[in-house]
Structure 1
């Protein structure tokens, strides 16, 4: 088995690491049938083909009167058409029907004039502005939005409120969606304690990474099947990771993949599978590993909280979206104008925590936060974006356009 740790000073650039991950990404997880009411933020697994037209029938787009628009200006009202209660007769020339928005257009009518543009006197009505009337106006025609046989949504579509509203309009009570990927998350180190556990030594720390990584993955649609702390013992780590590989579609650890003597995740992983890619030319996030544990994709993220979340966004997210079945996912990036000089290091991607704002003219500007330490978790919730300083640049001047990644609801 090849050992990617043999060349310890080699760093993969970000594109190389992403290419390795894409090449090893499994097919999406299985399918399940869920009620429409439970399908929000799920990923559609089969094409949605319309078996009904939308609108279902030709209807009025306004409250007013419906008639045959052939040059007449005066009409006799012969009935009314309401949404859910159509007019059953045939409207003859010179006759009109009062109609509400969404009501089926009666037979014999082809034009609707809104109520504000008519003058009524008993059962007689007259057009207030006849020169402004166009035959066929204010009509919603059956099938003008969706025709029978139209492919409404492709597999891999994220089902948000608008998509679910369309599915309901087409009569779908249940939808076939991809299952939520099951994820196991571990933090590593004898110094770690779960939140709420007895803090029995001055050298112990409460584990932040399991909570923050799990919260982020849940937002993306994961089912978290396991969170735990791996002790600094090889046999225990091997046993827990082996158990996780039987329950999860994806395994994530934080800490334990650098060159320290007590960093045992690499050794445990290599007993159960293989780490194929290690260390990436990115700050924060250099000591990151990717491979598999008994055929389950595995990510070893850095132990520092900020580095763990940023590597989750940059490298775990693309694989997770594919596991979820979201075929057309792509990261969101904008351009913004630097408000101050930026410094990095040529040869690596620097991701700086920053804050962008949009001025009255719609120009996006961005400033970098002062504190950039990868242990400062507060710098992520104080930020609203990551500023990209690419590997080709060591610095950039004030006023330079730079690429930013808006954090939005990701973190």
Structure 2
């Protein structure tokens, strides 16, 4: 048996494949006003109802002319003006030009715009310092940005702040979107206390629910916070039953290890099914995955870094598929030079917190954030990437190459 064939631990890649393969995207769709649709996933291709721009217009301030008039070398008479929103009415005849502003419609009879820096206005008219320009010089044609019926957003795209003004510029007032997955979550543990309370001996503040809620919202899902549930079998069971009736996904924090008060595995054996439990990942080994009727179950470890890491690495891809976000991509791995040592023992894929920078040669460098304990969340707060050390890899020395994953928008 090799060093990475840890008995009872599923490799992280196998777990990810199993999780994502078992997910069917939601199909419930409805029309949403554009100004409320940020973060929703598009249910169908969005096609442009118009050309953008809808008319040929000037790319700069200057003079609209017929370019054949340039070769004559004679002053051109200013026959009118074309401003944005106030176009010139009529046709520009030979020997004339039209004063034009950026974005204004190109007058009939003109096929070029000369920038005002190349023009000189005299009592006889306008003369130019050039005698030849290309056809359609400084003119933006109809559909230069978007043609009518072009697909501007594909089904499965999640609407970003960059997409909203694009659709608004096309006159799109409503979009058909998929409903957001509902995520019910709660923490377990008699030692957990709410924020604002006074801690007694042996107690700690419940931080995981706050992290889970933030991640759930960043995933573009609806968050249903069920609070802190005590380590009581029947209370936990009833909470599970409530959660699975109200949500698409049930996420717990804590209670999936092997302690005497860790009841979640027993409850899942009773009312649901466990697909797997315990992974070859560090931190986050006691991660559980399964189902409760039609609801998906994800049991996160209780340690704060372990909970956030498994949410990011394992739950995020699952929620992307469930929400229909087909444009979502796994964080890219980038080779980087280690500028500090990274402690590691073979046996599990290790996601260590790191701080990367790009050196003068354009290479990625990465250093450890320090304490890599699963309860040391400060090192998570100051990190900007994960250093992903392979399952069979050992200690990393300074100067070695490692793979890093830059944090995506979920962690920002």
TM-score, scaled to structure 2? 0.93
Instruction: Kindly provide the CA deviation profile for residues 329-372 of structure 1, in whole angstroms up to 9, marking residues without a partner as x.
Output: 11223322111333322231011111111223432100112201
Matches within 5 A, 1:2-401: 9-28=7-26, 30-70=28-68, 71-73=71-73, 74-122=75-123, 124-131=125-132, 133-197=133-197, 199=199, 201-333=200-332, 334-401=334-401
| Distance in 2, Cα, partners of 1:409 & 1:392 | 30
SS in 2 for 1:177: strand
Q: Aligned partners of 1:277 and 1:214: how far apart in 2?
A: 24
Over 3 Å counting, the alpha-carbon distance change for 1:396 and 1:206 in structure 2 is closer
What corresponds to 1:5 in structure 2? none
1:376 offset after TM fit, Å?
0.9
Counterpart CA distance in 2 for 1:147 and 1:72 is: 37
Q: For 1:135 and 1:205, how far apart are their aligned partners in 2?
A: 73
CA contact (8 A) 1:63 1:99 kept: yes
Structure 2 gaps of 5+ residues are 1-5
Contact 2:158–2:327 (Cα < 8 Å) also in 1: no
Query: Displacement, 1:129?
Result: 2.6
Alpha-carbon spacing, 1:29–1:405, altered in 2? closer, same or farther (3 Å)? farther
Q: Any idea what the Cα deviations from partners look like across 1:181-203, whole Å, max 9, x if unmatched?
A: 2111111111112222454x312
Is the Cα contact below 8 Å between 1:256 and 1:302 reproduced in 2? yes
Q: Is the 8 A contact 2:341 2:368 kept in 1?
A: no
> Structure 2 CA distance, aligned partners of 1:219 and 1:186?
18
Aligned equivalents of 2:290, 2:340: Cα separation in 1: 39
What is the aligned-residue RMSD (CA, Å)? 1.7
Q: How far does residue 288 in structure 1 lie from its aligned partner after superposition?
A: 0.4
Given the two structures, how large is their TM-score scaled by the length of structure 1?
0.94
Structure 2 distance, partners of 1:29, 1:202, is 49
Distance 2:408 2:225 in 1: 26
In 2, are the aligned partners of 1:389 and 1:395 still within 8 Å (CA)? no
2-side partners of 1:32 and 1:345: how far apart? 50
Give the Å deviation of 1:136. Answer: 1.5
- SS of equivalent to 1:175: strand
Structure 2 vs 1, CA of residues 351 and 102 (structure 1 numbering), >3 Å: closer, same or farther?
Answer: same
Q: CA deviation at 1:178?
A: 1.8
Are the counterparts in 1 of residues 185 and 225 from structure 2 also a CA contact under 8 Å?
yes
CA displacement 1:256-281 (0-9 Å, x = unmatched) = 11111110011112222111111110
SS in 1 for 2:155: coil
Instruction: Classify the secondary structure of the residue corresponding to 1:143.
Output: coil
2:410 counterpart of 1:405? no
Map of 2:3 onto structure 1: none
Q: CA deviation at 1:375?
A: 0.6
Distance 2:60 2:298 in 1: 57
For residues 316 and 303 of structure 2, the distance between their equivalents in structure 1, rounded to whole angstroms, comes to 18
Deviation at 1:123, TM superposition (A): 6.0
Deviation string, structure 1 residues 350-407 (Cα, Å, up to 9, x no partner): 1111111122343210011220110111111021111011113223333222211222
Range with bigger deviation, 262-271 or 105-114: 262-271
SS at match of 1:19: helix
Change (3 A) 1:72 1:162: farther
Distance 1:130 1:343 in 2: 71
